[in-house]
Chain A
Amino acid sequence: MIRLSNVARNYGVHEVLRGVDWTIPPGSRVGLVGPNGAGKTTLLRLIAGLETPDSGRVDIVRGTSLGYLPQEGARLPEGSLLEAMLEPFREVYALERELEQLHHEMATANGERLETLTRHSGEVQHRFEAAGGFDLEIRAKIILGGLGFAPADHARPLREFSGGFRMRAALGSLLLRRPAYLLLDEPTNHLDLDAVVWLEAFLGDAPSSLVIVSHDRTFLNRLATSIAEVEGGKVRVWAGNYDYFRRQKEEARETARKKAAQEAHRVEEIERFIERFRYKATKARQVQSRIKMLERMERTELMAEDFSWNFSFPPVTRSAQRVAWLQDLRKSYGPQRVLRGATLEIDREDRVALVGPNGCGKSTLLQILAGRVKADGGTVELGEKVVLHYFAQHVLETLTPGRTVLEEMQAWAPALGTQKLRSLLGIFQFSGEDVFKRVEVLSGGEKNRLALARLTLDPGNFLLLDEPTNHLDLPTREALEEALAGYGGTLLFVSHDRYFINKVATRVVAFAQGLLSSYRGGYDDFLAAARGAGEPRRAASESKAAREGSRVPPKNAPGPIPAPAVPSGPLQARAQTPRGTSGPGLHASREQKRMQAETRNRRNRGLRIFRERIVAIEAKIVPHESRLKEIEAALAASDTYKEPGLARALGEEKKSLEIDLAHLYDEWDEATSDLQREESGSA
C-alpha cells in the first residue's frame, strides 16, 4: 500500500503539487495522466523516494518493493547486457557460487565432513531455489527477447547499445525483479510496436501493481483499471481505462455544469425574493431566512475545460492520381540489408501507415522517397504535380541550431510578415517571449510543435511524416489527428502509436524482411488480417511464393491485397472492448441512462405545474405592484388633494390592492415552498 497525504512540492516559485491525497492499494493498475509539466514524473519520483515532499507525507508499507523506470537516463551497471540484467540478483548468484563450491568439495570429501557438506548444500540449494535462481536466466532471456534484443546481443557490452536500447534494458531489468509496485514513466517511448504489444501482454500477467505514465492511449486502455489525473496540483482518481475516464469526465463536467446552472437559477430566485421584500416588515423573517439560505448554499464548482487546441493544414494543389510508385527498392547499410526489393504504389489521398520493428527500414524508405538517401537499386517515381514534404523523426536534424523559433519560421517563409508568423506560432503554443527561444533549448515536444508549425506553412500535397507523435502530449496528438483528417493531400507516415494509426490511416503497410505487405484499414484491421493470414513477417521470409505474394501490387490490380479485415479472435475483441467498458456494461449503462432520463422527464413534468403556478401568481403581482407604486406617487403629489374625493378613492384602492397583494404574496410564498419541497423530494 502506498499513501500520499497532503503532499506539496514546489520547484522555486513554481508550485507543482499542492495537497495531494492519493492512495494506491496493492493490485492497482493506475494510468497517471495530465498535461506536460503537471507533476506526473514528480509524483513517481516522490513515491520512489528520489525526492522528498515540501510538506505532507508519502507512506509506503514496510517491506514493499518498488521499481522505478525514469523517462530518460536510467542507470545500469557496466558489463554485458545479460550481466546488467542479472546484477540486482547478486545475492542469488552468491548462493549459486556457494553451491558450486560445496559441490566441488563434496566430490572429494568423505565421512562426517561429506555429511556436513551435503546437509549444508541442501540448505543453500533450497534458498537458491526459493529465490527463483534456477529460472532467473531463462526469464531474463525471455524478457530481453520480448523487448527486441537478439540472442547475440546478450553477451554484448551494454555501452555498445544506443540510449533507446539501454532504456529497454533498464525496463527489462525492472520486469525481471518483479517488485510489488512498478512505477513506469513513459515505458513505451523507446519501444517499437512489437515490443509495446509484448510489454502490454507481459504487464497484463505481471503480479506487480502498476503506476504508468504514458501518452500511448491504446497502452493505457489495455492495462489501466483506473486513471489518476493530475490537474492543478491535485490528483483525482477515476475508475476504468483511459477512454472510459474521458467519457466519465465529460459526463461529470456536464453534470457539474447543469448543477451550477440550477443553483444559479435558484440563487436568482432567492435574491429576487429578498429584493422584493427587503423592506417589508411582515416578510422580514422570511427575508432573513432566505439570506441565511443563500449564505449556506453549497456552490458547485465548474470543472475546467481540458486543455485542447487545434490547427489545420491549408488547402493543397491536386496531384496526379498515382502519387508515388516504388519498384524493387533495395538498400543496405554495410552488411545489413534493410530493403530487399520493396514495391509500393501510393495513390492520391491515400493515408498509409508504415509499421514494423525498429531498424527494419521504415525511416530509410521515407528518406529515399524524400531524396535524402540514395537507394542501392530499384526505382522511385513521383506523379505529376506532386509536391513532397518530409517531417524527420529527429526533428532537430531539420532545425538550424542558433536560430530562434521565429527566425526558423522566417527562414522557411521569408515572404510572410513577422506578425503573421507570430500569430501562426501562437496557434502552436509559442506565445510572447517563447518565439525568441533558441531551437536547441526547446523540449522534445516543443521541437515537434515547431516542425509542425513550419509544415503548415506549405505542406505540399504529399506529406512524409516520420514518428510525428514522438514527445507530443495527448492534446497535441489529438490536434494533429484532427489536422491530418482535414488535410487534402496524400500521407505516408511511420508511427508506433496504435491509436494514432487507427485514427489516421486508411492503409497499413507492414515491413517484413525488407519486403512490404499492405492491409486496408487501421492498425486493428491490420492486426486482425495479419492474424487471419498468419504472421506476415514469417510468411515473407519462409518461401519464395510467400515472398512474391507479400509484394504490394498496384492498388487497383486484382490479387494479393488482403480483403478488409473482419475483426475476429481474442486480440481483436480485446482491442474493441477495452477493459472497463465491456459490452454488457455498456448495455447496462445505456439502459440505466434511459431509465434516468425517464425519471427526470417525469419529475420535470410534475415540477412544471408548480412553476407555472408561480409564474401565474407573479403575473398578477406585477400589475398590482406597479399600480400601488402609481397610487403611492399620486398620494404623495399635492395636486391629488386639490380634487375632492380623489385622495380618498386612491386610499381605498391602495388598501384593497395591499390586501390583494398580501394574499398574492402568501400564495406565491406557498407556491415556492411547494416547488422547493417537490424539488428536494424528487431529487
Chain B
Amino acid sequence: MGTHGKKYAAARQQIEARPYTLDEAIPLVKRIKPSKFDETLEIAFLLGVDPKHADQMVRGTVILPHGTGKSKRVLAIATGEKIAEAEKAGADFAGGLEIVQKIQEGWTDFDAVVATPDTMKEVGKLGKILGPKGLMPNPKVGTVTFDVARAIQEIKAGKVEFRVDKTSIVHSVFGKSSFDEKKLLENARTLVTAVLRAKPPTAKGRYLRSVHISSTMGPGVPLDTASLESLV
C-alpha cells in the first residue's frame, strides 16, 4: 500500500475525529486541500443496500444547481431535424446512424451519449462497447428521449448520474475547490437529497451508513449522517 505525502498528512491532522455537518465540512475541505491545482470535490456515500439484488440498486440523475465545473463532451445520436436541434443545444458531436458505425470501429471520444428512441434499434447494438464504460444511453436517466435539446442542456449544465457500485458505495462529484462555499453547499445538498430520495423501498436497516467528502488529493472528512437525513 502506498504511503501518503507530507501535505496529505498535514491536511489529515486538521480533521478532528468527529462527524462534521455539511456547513462545517465544505470550508474545511477547501482550506486543507493539499495541491495547487483546482481540485474536484467528491462525495462518497456508503449505503445500507445490497447491490446484488436488482431491486436494491440505487441509481439516478440530478442537476447540480451550479454544475460540476467540468465540461462534458456530449454525443447525440438522432435522426432528421433532431440532429440540428442537438447541435443547436450544444452537443459536441451529433449525427445519425453513421455514428453507430464509427463507434463500432473504436471511436469513444465523448463523455455522455443522448439518443432518440427511434435510433435505439441501432444504438442497442453498441451495448458491449458503451455499456462497460457507463456511456450507454438509458431512458431511466433521461438520455433516451426525443427532447434531445433539454437532455444535452441538462448534461452541460451539470447533470450528474450516480449509481451504487458493487461495494454499496455511491461516488459523485459536486464541484471544484474554486467554487465559493455557498455554491458547493447547494450542490452538495441537492446531491444528498437525490441520493436519499433514491432509497429503494426494499432496503433494510440504516440507509446512510457513512458519508465522506474530500478533494481530489485531500483526505476524507466524515459527515454527520443524522444531519444529512434531515435534509429530506
Is B4 an interface residue when CB atoms closer than 8 A count as contact?
Answer: no
| B124 contact set on A, CB distance < 8 A | 99-100, 103
The reply to whether A126 and B132 contact each other, CB–CB distance below 8 Å, is no
The reply to whether B54 and A135 contact each other, CB–CB distance below 8 Å, is no
* Shortest beta-carbon distance from A104 to chain B in Å: 5
The reply to whether B140 and A131 contact each other, CB–CB distance below 8 Å, is no
| B206 contact set on A, CB distance < 8 A | none
Bound CA–CA A548/B138 (angstroms): 56
| B119 contact set on A, CB distance < 8 A | 107
| B138 contact set on A, CB distance < 8 A | 122, 125-126, 129
**Quick one: CB contact mask for A123-135 with B, threshold 8 Å, 1 for yes?**
1011101110111
**Quick one: CB contact mask for A446-485 with B, threshold 8 Å, 1 for yes?**
0000000000000000000000000000000000000000
The reply to whether A137 and B128 contact each other, CB–CB distance below 8 Å, is yes
**Quick one: CB contact mask for B78-102 with A, threshold 8 Å, 1 for yes?**
0000000000000000000000000
The reply to whether B136 and A125 contact each other, CB–CB distance below 8 Å, is yes
Chain B: interface residue total (CB-CB under 8 A): 23
Ranked nearest first, the 8 interchain pairs of A and B with the lowest CB-CB distance are A134-B131, A122-B139, A122-B140, A103-B120, A103-B124, A107-B121, A135-B132, A106-B117
The reply to whether B139 and A129 contact each other, CB–CB distance below 8 Å, is no
Is A138 an interface residue when CB atoms closer than 8 A count as contact?
Answer: yes
**Quick one: CB contact mask for A491-509 with B, threshold 8 Å, 1 for yes?**
0000000000000000000
Interface residues of B in 117-143 (CB under 8 A from A): 117-121, 123-124, 127-128, 130-132, 136, 138-141
| B139 contact set on A, CB distance < 8 A | 118-119, 121-122, 125
| B136 contact set on A, CB distance < 8 A | 125, 129, 134
Is B64 an interface residue when CB atoms closer than 8 A count as contact?
Answer: no
**In the complex where A104-B121, A107-B120 touch, is A130 in contact with B131 (Cβ < 8 A)?**
no
**Quick one: CB contact mask for A107-126 with B, threshold 8 Å, 1 for yes?**
11000001001110111011
| A99 contact set on B, CB distance < 8 A | 124
Chain B's closest residue to A120 (CB) is B139
Interface residues of B in 174-211 (CB under 8 A from A): none
The reply to whether B54 and A127 contact each other, CB–CB distance below 8 Å, is yes
* Shortest beta-carbon distance from B50 to chain A in Å: 10
Contact for B54 among A100, A106, A130, A137, CB less than 8 A: A130
Main secondary structure on chain A at its contact with chain B?
helix
**In the complex where A126-B59, A127-B54, A134-B136 touch, is A103 in contact with B131 (Cβ < 8 A)?**
no
Is B144 an interface residue when CB atoms closer than 8 A count as contact?
Answer: yes
Return 14 A-B CB contacts under 8 Å, by A number: A100-B124, A103-B124, A106-B117, A117-B117, A118-B144, A119-B139, A123-B140, A125-B139, A126-B138, A129-B136, A130-B54, A134-B127, A134-B136, A135-B132
**Quick one: CB contact mask for B105-127 with A, threshold 8 Å, 1 for yes?**
00000000000011111011001
Is B29 an interface residue when CB atoms closer than 8 A count as contact?
Answer: no
Bound CA–CA A636/B211 (angstroms): 98
| B117 contact set on A, CB distance < 8 A | 106-107, 114, 117-118
* Shortest beta-carbon distance from B231 to chain A in Å: 26
Bound CA–CA A130/B163 (angstroms): 10
Contact for A134 among B121, B123, B128, B141, CB less than 8 A: B128
The reply to whether A107 and B118 contact each other, CB–CB distance below 8 Å, is yes
The reply to whether A121 and B121 contact each other, CB–CB distance below 8 Å, is no
Is B57 an interface residue when CB atoms closer than 8 A count as contact?
Answer: yes
Chain B's closest residue to A180 (CB) is B52
Bound CA–CA A133/B119 (angstroms): 21
**In the complex where A125-B140, A130-B54 touch, is A135 in contact with B131 (Cβ < 8 A)?**
yes
Q: A106-B117, A121-B144, A126-B54 are in contact. List 17 more A-B contacts (CB 8 A).
A: A102-B120, A104-B121, A107-B117, A114-B117, A117-B117, A122-B138, A122-B144, A123-B140, A126-B138, A129-B136, A130-B57, A133-B131, A134-B127, A134-B130, A135-B131, A135-B132, A138-B128
| B57 contact set on A, CB distance < 8 A | 126, 130
Bound CA–CA A126/B128 (angstroms): 14
| B130 contact set on A, CB distance < 8 A | 134
Chain A's closest residue to B164 (CB) is A130
Chain A: interface residue total (CB-CB under 8 A): 27
The reply to whether A131 and B54 contact each other, CB–CB distance below 8 Å, is yes
Bound CA–CA A122/B124 (angstroms): 12
Residues of A in contact with B (beta carbons under 8 Å apart): 96, 99-100, 102-104, 106-108, 114, 117-119, 121-123, 125-127, 129-131, 133-135, 137-138
Bound CA–CA A552/B69 (angstroms): 61
Interface residues of B in 1-59 (CB under 8 A from A): 51, 54, 57, 59
| B145 contact set on A, CB distance < 8 A | 118
Bound CA–CA A138/B132 (angstroms): 9
Bound CA–CA A114/B131 (angstroms): 23
* Shortest beta-carbon distance from B169 to chain A in Å: 15
* Shortest beta-carbon distance from B93 to chain A in Å: 21
| A137 contact set on B, CB distance < 8 A | 128
* Shortest beta-carbon distance from B91 to chain A in Å: 20
Question: Which of the listed residues B57, B120, B132, B136 has the most CB atoms from chain A within 10 Å of its own CB?
Answer: B120
Bound CA–CA A117/B120 (angstroms): 11
| A122 contact set on B, CB distance < 8 A | 138-141, 144
Chain A's closest residue to B127 (CB) is A134
The reply to whether B120 and A106 contact each other, CB–CB distance below 8 Å, is yes
| A104 contact set on B, CB distance < 8 A | 121
* Shortest beta-carbon distance from A328 to chain B in Å: 43
| A114 contact set on B, CB distance < 8 A | 117
| B59 contact set on A, CB distance < 8 A | 126
| A130 contact set on B, CB distance < 8 A | 51, 54, 57
Chain A's closest residue to B59 (CB) is A126
Bound CA–CA A107/B125 (angstroms): 14
* Shortest beta-carbon distance from A570 to chain B in Å: 13
| A127 contact set on B, CB distance < 8 A | 54
Bound CA–CA A133/B23 (angstroms): 41
Bound CA–CA A123/B57 (angstroms): 12
* Shortest beta-carbon distance from A178 to chain B in Å: 10
Bound CA–CA A129/B128 (angstroms): 11
Bound CA–CA A131/B51 (angstroms): 10
Chain B's closest residue to A99 (CB) is B124
Chain A's closest residue to B163 (CB) is A129
Bound CA–CA A458/B57 (angstroms): 69
Bound CA–CA A515/B118 (angstroms): 56
Bound CA–CA A607/B131 (angstroms): 75
* Shortest beta-carbon distance from A98 to chain B in Å: 11
Chain A's closest residue to B146 (CB) is A114
Chain B's closest residue to A109 (CB) is B117
Bound CA–CA A125/B59 (angstroms): 13
* Shortest beta-carbon distance from A454 to chain B in Å: 54
* Shortest beta-carbon distance from A123 to chain B in Å: 7
The reply to whether A126 and B121 contact each other, CB–CB distance below 8 Å, is no
Bound CA–CA A104/B119 (angstroms): 9
| B127 contact set on A, CB distance < 8 A | 96, 133-134
The reply to whether A106 and B118 contact each other, CB–CB distance below 8 Å, is yes
* Shortest beta-carbon distance from A582 to chain B in Å: 14
Question: Which of the listed residues A102, A130, A133, A138 has the most CB atoms from chain B within 10 Å of its own CB?
Answer: A130
**Quick one: CB contact mask for B136-158 with A, threshold 8 Å, 1 for yes?**
10111100110000000000000
Contact for A106 among B51, B121, B140, CB less than 8 A: B121
Question: Which of the listed residues B57, B127, B130, B141 has the most CB atoms from chain A within 10 Å of its own CB?
Answer: B127
Bound CA–CA A498/B8 (angstroms): 44
Chain B's closest residue to A137 (CB) is B128
Bound CA–CA A104/B160 (angstroms): 29
* Shortest beta-carbon distance from B99 to chain A in Å: 16
Chain B's closest residue to A100 (CB) is B124
| A125 contact set on B, CB distance < 8 A | 136, 138-140
